[in-house]
Amino acid sequence: NFIGVEVTHARAARLLHTLMLHAMRFAAAVASLCTVNALHVHASVIRTHAKSSRSTSAAMVGNQADGTPLVGLPPANVLAPGGYTKQIPDLLAQEEALQMVKTTFEDALKKNVNLVRVSNPMFLNSKGGFNDNLNGVERPASFSPRDYKDTTLEVPFSLAKWKRWALHHYDVPAGKGIVTNFNGLRCDDDVDFTHSLYIDQFDWEKVITREDRTVEYLQQTVKGVYAAVTVTEQAVSKKFGIKPLLPEQITFISSDEMIEMYPDATPKERENLVAKEHGAVFIMGIGGFDGPTPADGKTLRHDGRAPDYDDWTTQRPDGGYGINGDLMVWNPLLGMAFELSSMGIRVDKDVLVKQLDIMGCPERADNLWHRLLLDGTLPLSIGGGVGP
């Protein structure tokens, strides 16, 4: 079909399956350096839950004897003997808890945000513009099927843009949306105790009206997503006897406010400061630059965001820009902020053109996906990913 998501040749399917198995095993090897309590990471546990190894942990602690931390490893106090005790020691019970996290969260998310589960593609045609471009420099895992040498298929980074097409495909009405359990690969992602090459997350998207493109609607939706997180924490805590950690309510703050509060801190340091203070925060206004174009040498506004899904240029009532953001919680075990979700109100056709120009890639408007948005085929929407 026109987005290249249906590949029927068995060899192509086996090739991707083998590739994903290798990625999962590599992710498990990295994650085995430190198993983190499932409740500390909630929907992101998929990336860090592999088996713990005493010999590996002992070797890592030894490597840090001089006080120098090794890149990609958890804090030394976590790795040290007695630094972390598994809340669920039994490996099969861990798997049961992980599955409970996923099913409980998905059910609550569907209820709170009014979503229906759908299937999703394993491949996307590289020429359609349906793949998430992330920051524009990451390499997708790709291949050409034996019988279609002129076609390049990519394993998606995320389903940020495909989901909006799916809303059109399923003819979803305003106020309703879709959710899917997405698995993907990121060849150039950081590989450490919170990141992997393998992605396992929930991707969701919801049709909205023009009147819904507001900060109020964004915050209302964020509260629904966060409520699904806390319901999941309570359910798993009750079943496995683990003390819950998250606050009942989430705090909203903008990246502009954070700069005013901590002008000399880096974006990551600001995240740590506000997450530690509030326990759970939604940081609004992420993406773009504080100058007209990247060529001006201006500073990235908190963090990178692709120009063709989240709206990071619309001005908010508080004077800041961007009706999108990141949901973060404080992880006391690791002593750091932990991102659970990136989400936002999506670009309309005018914002798309503006953000493509800001990022210096107006040629993307010629891609199939972008043409569908510009001609009004794709609906207005809000969406995000929950997990990695």
Annotated catalytic residues are 132, 186, 201, 326, 339, 342
Contact 99, 359 (CB under 8 A): no
d(CA 381, CA 310): 10
Contact 33, 70 (CB under 8 A): no
Helix (H, G, I), strand (E, B) or coil at 222: helix
Q: Do you know the residue count of the chain?
A: 388
**Cα dihedral 244, 246, 247, 249 sign:** negative
- Read off the tokens for 271: 């995240």
Distance, CA of 138 to chain centre: 15
Return the DSSP state at 290. S
Alpha helices by DSSP H, the chain = 10-31, 38-41, 54-63, 76-79, 91-113, 162-169, 215-240, 255-261, 267-278, 349-358, 368-374
d(CA 127, CA 370): 11
Burial of 27 (0-12, 13-18, 19+ CB in 10 A): buried
Contact 95, 39 (CB under 8 A): no
From the CA atom positions of the chain, what is the Rg in Å? 21
Give me the helix-helix angle, 215-240 and 91-113, nearest 10°: 150
Burial of 219 (0-12, 13-18, 19+ CB in 10 A): middle
Contact 105, 42 (CB under 8 A): yes
Contact 203, 182 (CB under 8 A): yes
Helix (H, G, I), strand (E, B) or coil at 183: strand
